[in-house]
Structure 1
Amino acid sequence: MSRRHATVIGAGIGGLTAASALSRQGWTVRLHERQPEIRAVGAGIYIWDNGLFALDSVGAFAEATRGAHIGPAVEARAHTGDLLYRIGINGADQPRCYTLLRERLVAALMRSADESGVDIVTGSAATVVRPDGTVEFDGGGTERADLVVVADGVHSRLRDTVDLAYRRIRMTQGAARLMIPASPHYFPADDAVKHLEFFRGHRRLLYTPCTPDLIYLALVCDADDPAIRGSQLDVPLWQRNFPALAPLLDATAGIPIRWDTFEYVQMSAWSRGLVAFLGDAAHAQPPYLGQGGGTAMTNAVALAEAVSRPGRELSDALAAWERDVRPGIERTQRTSYRMRLLNSVPDRVRNPLLSVVGRLPAFTESQLAATRLRPTVTT
């Protein structure tokens, strides 16, 4: 019997994971990336338990997490440094959360795909996907597959080529992301190893150690905020908002930022015919829970498992995949989307509110629910 063939579009985190997972399940896989080379987009990344489980499933865990930072807690703080709430991580009976360089994650997933036999084609831009498994490419070429997986990101050009309705919300907030050198002068030693998020007005500042030498910063504000000037931060303005973080912000001077406006995507269905969508193309979410990458990887492994079970028609497999996996991912999306509302709450209200709500088990559960997602699909 000939092996089934899958075409995967997009060599981001979701696409690479899907390609590796399908190949390990016995499919022949060709992965198409429109850019001339596969490269990481972004700086640091949070990988919680669900993402770590997916990495292990495709044999990329050891390489991806080598040198990762494994902190003791996630803490929310007022701009003065006062604690609002704390979630313990990486201890006994606590969720795991590793922070690592996005480029290391992508490199590990690329190696996994290569070692599992995936045929990776760069400089190959898909322009149309059809429910019968046909993919058309820029330049006139076509490819036919038993399964097409579309993971071409939030700006997907291929969603509009299939007859599936979707909702896409471009939010008013975004983040300036950058890496700075680690230093003992930013925080006391006990705080320097934590993941810290500071609130002030409509602005947030996220501090995340990624390696012994590098710190990942994400500065969240409205897209039209004057605190962001082109590819640079207005450092004095941020320091006026967060005076306790002045040494940390000094280190950002002159470092170019990457700005991303947050988006939310919800498709009416994740598949049609032989075509399935995943990752930001299907379920983009603002990054307030740090679960964009984790849910993409988990969903990719779940898809590969669902469509590889013997004796199951592909249409039934895709229906089971979406039925079982979608509720958890959409719950994560909704929670993350609701968290944007904190940006518009005055400090005098938000700070005492978070101090009280942050101690409630229901609040912690809402923050951690996605960490328990696993790529398992029922029969």
Structure 2
Amino acid sequence: MDSRHATVIGAGIGGLTAASALARRGWTVRLHERQAEIRAVGAGIYVWDNGLFALDSIGAFDDATYGAHMGPAVEARTHTGDLLYRIDINGADRPRCYTLLRERLVAALVRSARESGVDIVTGSGATAVRPDGTVEFDGRATEQSDLVVVADGVHSRLRDSIDLAYRRIRMTQGAARLMIPASPDYFPAEDAVKHLEFFRGRRRLLYTPCTPDLIYLALVCDADDPAIRGSRLDVPLWQHSFPVLTQLLAATSDIRIRWDTFEYVRMSAWSRGAVAFLGDAAHAQPPYLGQGGGTAMTNAVALADAVSRPGREPADALTVWERDMRPGTERTQRTSYRMRLLNSVPDRVRNPLLTAAGRVSAFTESQLAATRLRPTINT
């Protein structure tokens, strides 16, 4: 194959994965990032089997997962700690889920991209893309490519320039994310290694070990909940909702939070001409399944494979890519979006409902379906 050139917009998880996957298949790749430096946005991250498959396919698995935590189970609990349901993970014939620091993942993806020969340009903001592969930048500079991959996030400025219809829903809930030091005082040893989610009213609290020294917390509530005050938590309010977590929550008192309101994005099509959209720019979803990063990485690897098959023009290859990958991705989106409904169900109804659902195999399957998403790729 004659060398072809790809332009990737956005140095997040999806964009970095796409850049590496394309470069490893013989493309020359230039990746543009608007910020002056590539930064990890967030705290911890779940990477399930599908995301691990993508990391392995670009040679970043060992680097990204070094020191990651592998818990034995995901458990949902009431605000007093009573078990609602359990999903066993990371054992024989069980789905794998690594939890790691987002900055570790992004750093590994950057190294993979550079080692694959990707030209990374920071401080470079794209303003428009055209179906013929033209990218316009701040200052009226342009770049012409055989393929353009847009992975510039949920707030993408480029969706409007390509004349593709899309639906974007800003949800009423979001999450305060932060890291706290690990301590043996939070839970008994057998529970401290698990992924635990606690429910109380319209609030949820997710506890996830990421390293031997750090715990990732995500506190979910309405955007106008008084329990979130600027860059801080109102710790007494959270302790009142989750009395069993009083000591854990006390450790958050002096830690600044990152707040993100959940969003849902669905595009009428993921591509037009030589331009493809990827990750949150194309299929943002609330994080209830922990699959935002996983679906972005899996779709990135599948995209690189599709456009690299001999005898395919990029526009035709992108049509095939979307046909193959969109159904599973949108099923994941719908499941995650529906899970928001649990926020408005009273505890007296939700608790027995989740307990009963946990005994039904279809419920577990719906939670894990995305972990089995795999493109068939040429290695």
TM above 0.5, one fold? yes
The corresponding residue for 2:169 is: 169
Equivalent residues of 1:320, 1:377 under 8 A apart: no
The corresponding residue for 1:154 is: 154
The corresponding residue for 2:41 is: 41
Trace 1:238-277 onto structure 2 (pairs within 5 A). Answer: 238-277=238-277
The corresponding residue for 1:211 is: 211
Provide the C-alpha distance between the structure 2 equivalents of 1:274 and 1:172, rounded to a whole number of angstroms.
Answer: 35
Aligned partner letter, 1:120: I
Equivalent residues of 1:3, 1:27 under 8 A apart: yes
The corresponding residue for 1:229 is: 229
TM-score (norm 1): 0.99
Trace 1:4-153 onto structure 2 (pairs within 5 A). Answer: 4-153=4-153
Provide the C-alpha distance between the structure 2 equivalents of 1:183 and 1:237, rounded to a whole number of angstroms.
Answer: 22
| SS of residue matched to 2:248 | helix
The corresponding residue for 1:325 is: 325
Equivalent residues of 1:321, 1:377 under 8 A apart: no
Provide the C-alpha distance between the structure 2 equivalents of 1:165 and 1:131, rounded to a whole number of angstroms.
Answer: 15
For these two proteins, the number of residue pairs brought into alignment is: 378
Once the two structures are TM-superposed, the CA of residue 254 in structure 1 deviates from its matched residue by 1.2
CA RMSD of aligned residues (A): 0.9
Once the two structures are TM-superposed, the CA of residue 289 in structure 1 deviates from its matched residue by 0.1
Equivalent residues of 1:54, 1:375 under 8 A apart: no
The corresponding residue for 1:292 is: 292
Q: Deviations over 1:297-350 (max 9, x none)?
A: 000000000000001122221111000000000000000000000000000000
Q: Deviations over 1:199-219 (max 9, x none)?
A: 000000000000000000000
Provide the C-alpha distance between the structure 2 equivalents of 1:263 and 1:375, rounded to a whole number of angstroms.
Answer: 26
- Any gaps of 5 or more consecutive residues in structure 1? none
Provide the C-alpha distance between the structure 2 equivalents of 1:316 and 1:118, rounded to a whole number of angstroms.
Answer: 24
| SS of residue matched to 1:69 | coil
Aligned partner letter, 2:153: G
Once the two structures are TM-superposed, the CA of residue 117 in structure 1 deviates from its matched residue by 0.1
Q: Deviations over 1:109-141 (max 9, x none)?
A: 000000000000000000010111000100121
Runs of 4+ in 1 over 3 A off after TM superposition: none
Q: Deviations over 1:222-257 (max 9, x none)?
A: 000000000000000000000000000000001000
Provide the C-alpha distance between the structure 1 equivalents of 2:282 and 2:203, rounded to a whole number of angstroms.
Answer: 28
Equivalent residues of 1:179, 1:214 under 8 A apart: yes
Q: Deviations over 1:69-95 (max 9, x none)?
A: 000000000000000000000001100
Once the two structures are TM-superposed, the CA of residue 376 in structure 1 deviates from its matched residue by 2.4
Provide the C-alpha distance between the structure 1 equivalents of 2:377 and 2:22, rounded to a whole number of angstroms.
Answer: 15
| SS of residue matched to 2:84 | strand
Once the two structures are TM-superposed, the CA of residue 272 in structure 1 deviates from its matched residue by 0.4
- Any gaps of 5 or more consecutive residues in structure 2? none
Provide the C-alpha distance between the structure 2 equivalents of 1:350 and 1:2, rounded to a whole number of angstroms.
Answer: 58
Q: Which range is displaced more, 324-333 or 311-320?
A: 311-320
Once the two structures are TM-superposed, the CA of residue 170 in structure 1 deviates from its matched residue by 0.3
Provide the C-alpha distance between the structure 2 equivalents of 1:2 and 1:62, rounded to a whole number of angstroms.
Answer: 31
Aligned partner letter, 1:268: S
The corresponding residue for 1:202 is: 202
The corresponding residue for 1:350 is: 350
| SS of residue matched to 2:36 | coil
TM-score (norm 2): 0.99
Once the two structures are TM-superposed, the CA of residue 2 in structure 1 deviates from its matched residue by 3.9
Q: Percent identity?
A: 86
Provide the C-alpha distance between the structure 1 equivalents of 2:164 and 2:365, rounded to a whole number of angstroms.
Answer: 33
Provide the C-alpha distance between the structure 1 equivalents of 2:42 and 2:156, rounded to a whole number of angstroms.
Answer: 18
Provide the C-alpha distance between the structure 2 equivalents of 1:268 and 1:355, rounded to a whole number of angstroms.
Answer: 37
Provide the C-alpha distance between the structure 1 equivalents of 2:308 and 2:354, rounded to a whole number of angstroms.
Answer: 45
Q: Which range is displaced more, 308-317 or 252-261?
A: 308-317
Provide the C-alpha distance between the structure 1 equivalents of 2:264 and 2:377, rounded to a whole number of angstroms.
Answer: 25
Aligned partner letter, 2:339: M
Aligned partner letter, 1:332: T
Once the two structures are TM-superposed, the CA of residue 377 in structure 1 deviates from its matched residue by 6.5
Provide the C-alpha distance between the structure 2 equivalents of 1:139 and 1:290, rounded to a whole number of angstroms.
Answer: 38
Equivalent residues of 1:325, 1:377 under 8 A apart: no
| SS of residue matched to 1:262 | strand
